[in-house]
Amino acid sequence: MTLVQMQPRPASASPVHRTVVGVMDAAGPQVCDDMSVEVALAVMAAAHTRRLVVCDQDGQGTGLVTQTELTAVRDSSAYTDRVRLRDILGDHGSFTSPVTTMAEAEHAMRSRRRGVLPVVDEHGRALGILALSR
């Protein structure tokens, strides 16, 4: 796996010192953690995306959910329409800063076995998504 590079990097940027801000995707849709699984899946379908950044009532990122995860929850025998995104976030609270180096971000994603990592500002607001390509 290698990191997806969304913009050309300057020739002077060393891979060790390059930060995630230059290669992250736009954050895309952000939804509140009290949203139901069904509504979140509908938002994904309408936005033509496979992931959503989940925020709390103050707009701070609390996690990230994928279409695959939400579909699995919806299709489980324990599912009810009362299940909210905050109920299923689990260990999805990993974030990174826009000044994190690429090497640090890649190490964090690999060690946590996460293919995506939300990028947040100093106030916890989502700025973008960093993704590993396969």
Q: Note the pLDDT of residue 93.
A: 58
Type of residue numbered 3: L
Per-position pLDDT tens, the chain of length 134: 334 434 444 444 455 567 777 777 777 788 999 999 999 999 999 999 888 888 888 888 888 888 999 999 999 998 999 999 999 886 555 778 888 888 888 887 787 777 777 888 888 888 888 877 65
Phi, psi of 14 (to 5 degrees): -75, 135
Distance, in Å, from the CA atom of 75 to the CA atom of 72, rounded to the nearest integer, reads 5
Among 2, 21, 48, 46, smallest CA distance to 129 is for 21
Q: What is the CATH number of domain 2-133?
A: 3.10.580.10
Task: Enumerate residues 6+ apart whose C-beta is below 8 A from 71.
Answer: 41
Distance, in Å, from the CA atom of 113 to the CA atom of 8, rounded to the nearest integer, reads 26
Residue pair 56/32 in contact (Cβ under 8 Å)? The answer is yes
Residue pair 82/54 in contact (Cβ under 8 Å)? The answer is no
Distance, in Å, from the CA atom of 79 to the CA atom of 73, rounded to the nearest integer, reads 6
Q: Note the pLDDT of residue 40.
A: 95
Among 131, 109, 133, 132, smallest CA distance to 27 is for 131
Whether the model clears a pTM of 0.75, i.e. scores above it, the answer is no
Indicate the domain borders of the chain. Answer: 2-133
